[in-house]
Amino acid sequence: MTNGVDHTQPDVGFEFANDPGAPRAARAALGRLFPDDGAFAEDVSLVASELVSNVVLHTTEGGHLHAWDDDPLRLEVHDHVPMLPASNTFIHDIGGRGLEIVDGIADHWGARLEGDGKTLWAEFRRPV
C-alpha cells in the first residue's frame, strides 16, 4: 500500500447505481469474504452499508465498492462528487450519523479527493 492507495486488484469489486437497494447488494457482495458470520463480518458490512448509503443519498450516479481481504481488511467506496463529506453535528436531525458509525467501528478510516470524485476508505484489523 502506497500513500493509502492499494494498487493490487481488489478481492471484491462491486459497481452500484443510485439505487436504494445498493447497500443491501453491497453487503451481499462482501459476504463471500466471511465464511462465518460474526461480529467482524457484521462490523465490516455495517460500515460498507453506511458508505454506500451515503453515495446513494448524496449523488446521482452511484459508485463502486472495492474490498481487499487482508489484515487489515480494507474497504473503499468511490463516487463522482469531488467534495469531502462533513459530519452532521445537529443532534435533532434524522440521519447524518453514518460517519460517526464508521468512526466508532473501523480501526482507521479517511477520505481522499481524486480527479473524478472522492474515495472513502475504512480498515478493520482481524480478530485474533
71-102 pLDDT per residue, tens: 999 999 999 999 998 755 444 455 567 889 99
Number of domains the chain contains: 1
* pLDDT above 80: residue 29: yes
Is the pLDDT at 6 greater than 80, yes or no? no
Give a yes or no: residue 128 inside a domain: no
Assess if residue 68 is contained within a domain.
yes
The model's confidence at residue 35, banded by pLDDT at 50, 70 and 90, is confident
Whether 7 is covered by a domain: the verdict is no
Within a domain: 57: yes
Range of the domain at 59: 19-113
> Is residue 81 domain-resident?
yes
pTM: 0.86
**Residue 14: inside a domain, yes or no?**
no
Instruction: Report yes or no on 83 lying in a domain.
Output: yes
Residue 1 lies in a domain: no
The long-range contacts involving 56-60, CB below 8 angstroms and separated by at least 24 positions, are 56/16, 56/18, 56/19, 56/20, 56/22, 56/23, 57/95, 58/85, 59/18, 60/18
